[in-house]
Structure 1
């Protein structure tokens, strides 16, 4: 994995606001890194694919454990009035739309799961729309931020 420095877009906050991405800055800090991207080898991409598939299955096992326990449902702060719906959804195997796994990884050791954002409304907007806008703007500047692949 190689960290590649690029020039920060001077108007990225304005563009984010223009497209309704109003949480581009949190606690006075940018929500994402604007001055670099990571270039991965094919082997690293395949490693991440394998690890994320395994982590997803592990998360599903946690869900199964949590919904079987009132104590864990309470501990995870799942509102009591939703328990029946949550359990029924699990038992009838309602499909999940997506899950974004936030990882920490140096490209060498094992990736570590920081957070699983499953079916959160902002994830679709981030990944399916706004990152696409940013990638297109990078291409226009001659920087293929995040799109290059080393094999």
Structure 2
């Protein structure tokens, strides 16, 4: 939680990879016990490959080259808005006038039934999700440099 505070971030981002590069090892503490550690953390995958800004940006550019842009004439809440074909890379554009304009994102999150109490996990006004067996990039326009 403290990593999201502006005075801690100092304009930086915390990139969250698909497979964590950290491992939870504490079996006791304020919000932890050995049962919870065994059930939720003991068998989690652990990535040992380095991730940096350069390879993250290369990955995003590669994803754009292989992507399919969604039909924005449909409502994102419709069942068939996201194609059911697995293994695709899908791009969805949403309205985002500035870096703190999350109105549309919160509506989308609610439709997709993902975390919507606040905004988390975005990079340059873009969110990366896994939906129906495909990867999905949601890009805030015009704010994101990816738009």
Q: Same fold (TM over 0.5)?
A: no
Q: Which has the larger radius of gyration?
A: 1
More helix by share: 1
More RCO (CA 8 Å, sep 6+): 1
TM-score range, shorter chain: under 0.3
TM-score w.r.t. structure 2 length? 0.27
TM-score w.r.t. structure 1 length? 0.27
